[in-house]
């Protein structure tokens, strides 16, 4: 584990405010939520994160608007991961043990995704599994365009 503390200052707040840009940047905003690229190397194009616009610890702290929008927003993104990017399946993970700013990982799985990276295994990817930044940016742009329609 890295010695970098992602909570002081809060990485989630930096991303949703635009002070920090993860690969893919911010793809969409709405209902108190911000969709953005994952803030670490990714083995899967289209791995995105749905974060609260306000700094809250977890799902149980979301205001009513964000809580109402979370399911429909996540479903739209996961459908786009399948329809636009060709994912066979998509996972949703809200763990919150490292970054204490609500965020929901929306992780696509493709036909050629190694089984060791299925489900929670995506978080155990090795450095050599990371996809090129240009590929991740292209997937993010495709998702953003699909969500804007």
Please say whether the beta carbons of 73 and 30 come within 8 A.
yes
Which tens digits make up the pLDDT trace of 39-50?
999 999 999 999
Mean pLDDT of 91-104: 95
Structure confidence at residue 1 (pLDDT) = 43
Please say whether the beta carbons of 101 and 12 come within 8 A.
yes
Q: Considering the chain, what is the average pLDDT of its residues?
A: 96
Structure confidence at residue 125 (pLDDT) = 97
Mean pLDDT of 117-141: 98
Q: Is the pLDDT confidence value at 3 over 90?
A: no
- Nearest-angstrom CA–CA distance, 44 and 111: 11
- Burial of residue 132 (number of CB atoms within 10 Å: 0-12, 13-18, 19+): exposed
Structure confidence at residue 40 (pLDDT) = 93
């Amino acid at each position: 584990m890295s010695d970098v503390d992602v909570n002081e200052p809060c990485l989630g707040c930096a991303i949703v405010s635009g002070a920090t840009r993860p690969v893919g940047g911010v793809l969409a905003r709405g209902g108190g939520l911000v969709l953005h690229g994952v803030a670490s190397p990714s083995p899967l194009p289209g791995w995105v994160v749905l974060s609260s616009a306000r700094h809250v610890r977890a799902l149980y702290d979301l205001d009513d608007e964000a809580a109402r929008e979370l399911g429909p927003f996540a479903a739209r993104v996961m459908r786009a991961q399948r329809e636009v990017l060709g994912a066979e399946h998509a996972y949703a993970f809200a763990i919150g043990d490292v970054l204490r700013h609500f965020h929901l990982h929306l992780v696509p799985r493709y036909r050629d995704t190694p089984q060791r990276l299925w489900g929670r295994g995506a978080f155990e990817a090795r450095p050599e599994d990371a996809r090129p930044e240009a590929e991740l940016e292209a997937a993010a742009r495709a998702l953003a365009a699909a969500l804007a329609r």
